[in-house]
Amino acid sequence: MSKSFSFHISANDGRARTGIVSTPKGDIRTPAFMPVGTAATVKAMMPENVRETGADILLGNTYHLMLRPGAERIHNLGGLHKFMNWDRPILTDSGGFQVMSLTDLRKLTEEGVKFRSHIDGSEYNLTPERSMEIQRLLGSDIVMCFDECPALPADRARINESMQLSMRWAQRSRDAFGDRPGYALFGIQQGGLEQDFREESAEALQKIGFDGYAIGGLAVGEGQDAMFGVLDYAPNQLPQDKPRYLMGVGKPDDIVGAVQRGVDMFDCVLPSRSGRTGQALTRFGAVNLRNARHKDDPRPLDENCTCPACSNYSRAYLHHVHKAGEIIGSMLLTWHNLHYYQELMQGLRDAIAAGELDAFVAQFHATRAQGDIDPI
């Protein structure tokens, strides 16, 4: 196992790439999907089962963990990996995005963000330096720069001002992170939907120098066309030989389109959150198991899926446990959704390696266009 952090691309197909991000805690096959373990758990899943779905890496949220149970406490208990029983790589976000989106009680200055906890109202000060410290205390393998991003739509002046602040915070994050062999720090490109700002941001980040580069400020309500518009150029503004991570994306078709455009890493709460609300994500698109059409249906959710929900249970059972609010409903559908996402990523990796990505993507869209099987 590698003692340092590195990225090796084994095949290209068009703008898409497949390869391996190596870390001392294990390899991450790319393109990679990272399940979200917000509060030191992927909700409704045991960590060993998350691994069984094919996940190589999890994402943890700095904002939630700093408030509860606290970064120092997790550090004293042996770090996040031991605390949550996941010995493979963990990426943590910087807390910036969630402070901005989750709390109204905040004050943004050059120094950082002051905010009040949504849990008990106590006051916190999050700066690039403190974010680096928290992510170090957690033991995160891939640390994200502390940044700021405006909700879209926003005017050019606001987007530029925010991007410039994020680039100053990127330098402070780099300085505070220091030299930590085996651990990686990713910069985050900002600039909204403005190509010139994205270019300026990419240049500023490369001048500082990072182990990987995220494309930030997307999936914030701009829609898929606008997002793909940015992804038509943004990945190419970043270094070819470093991993590229599209933050907070996305739906299966968002991920497929982004992989075609050269993105290597993704995270999203969608498969786990949907699993708790009765929505299955399948080859045929989204299926709402709460719908009465499934009440008497003895067939599996997807006859070709090898996950426990599809192997051992009927649509009628999945419908019943979701209607009855039984915990196993969340467990089974979260498992299925994460299994489906990881299977999709494996399909993308294999297709890129074989030089057959276009055919794979055509089949992906054709299957979705069929829609769910007809009711019995």
By annotation, the residues acting in catalysis are: 93, 267
| CB of 252 vs Zn ion, minimal distance in Å | 14
| CB of 308 vs Zn ion, minimal distance in Å | 8
Phi and psi at residue 20, in whole multiples of 5°?
Answer: -135, 130
| β-pair partners for 285 | 282
CB neighbour burial string for 208-231, b if at least 16 within 10 angstroms, e if fewer: eebbbbbbbbbbbebebeebeebb
307 is an interface residue for Zn ion by CB under 5 A: yes
| CB of 232 vs Zn ion, minimal distance in Å | 33
Minimum CB distance to Zn ion smaller for 191 or for 271:
271
- Lookup: tokens for 295: 């009440």
Phi and psi at residue 191, in whole multiples of 5°?
Answer: 125, 10
- Distance (Å, rounded) from C-alpha 150 to C-alpha 331? 35
126 is an interface residue for Zn ion by CB under 5 A: no
Question: 97 a known binding residue?
Answer: yes
Residue 288, judged by CB atoms within 10 A of its CB (0-12, 13-18, 19+), counts as middle
CB under 5 A: which stretch of 177-185, 240-248, 258-266, 331-339 binds Zn ion?
A: 331-339
| CB of 330 vs Zn ion, minimal distance in Å | 14
Among 145, 305, 332, 345, binds Zn ion (CB under 5 A): 305
Q: How would you classify the pairing of strands 32-34 and 123-126?
A: unpaired
Beta carbons within 10 angstroms of residue 324's beta carbon: 9
- Distance (Å, rounded) from C-alpha 125 to C-alpha 127? 6
Question: 70 a known binding residue?
Answer: no
| CB of 285 vs Zn ion, minimal distance in Å | 14
81 is an interface residue for Zn ion by CB under 5 A: no
Residue type at position 340: Y
Residue type at position 268: C
Among 310, 318, 344, 351, binds Zn ion (CB under 5 A): 310
CB under 5 A: which stretch of 27-35, 93-101, 120-128, 305-313 binds Zn ion?
A: 305-313
Question: 307 a known binding residue?
Answer: yes
Minimum CB distance to Zn ion smaller for 185 or for 309:
309
Minimum CB distance to Zn ion smaller for 270 or for 309:
309
- Lookup: tokens for 305: 């899926």
* Binding residues for Zn ion, total number by CB under 5 A: 5
Binding footprint of Zn ion on the chain (CB under 5 A): 305, 307, 309-310, 336
* Binding site as annotated, residues: 93-97, 147, 190, 217, 305, 307, 310, 336
Binding-site entries for substrate: 93-97, 147, 190, 217
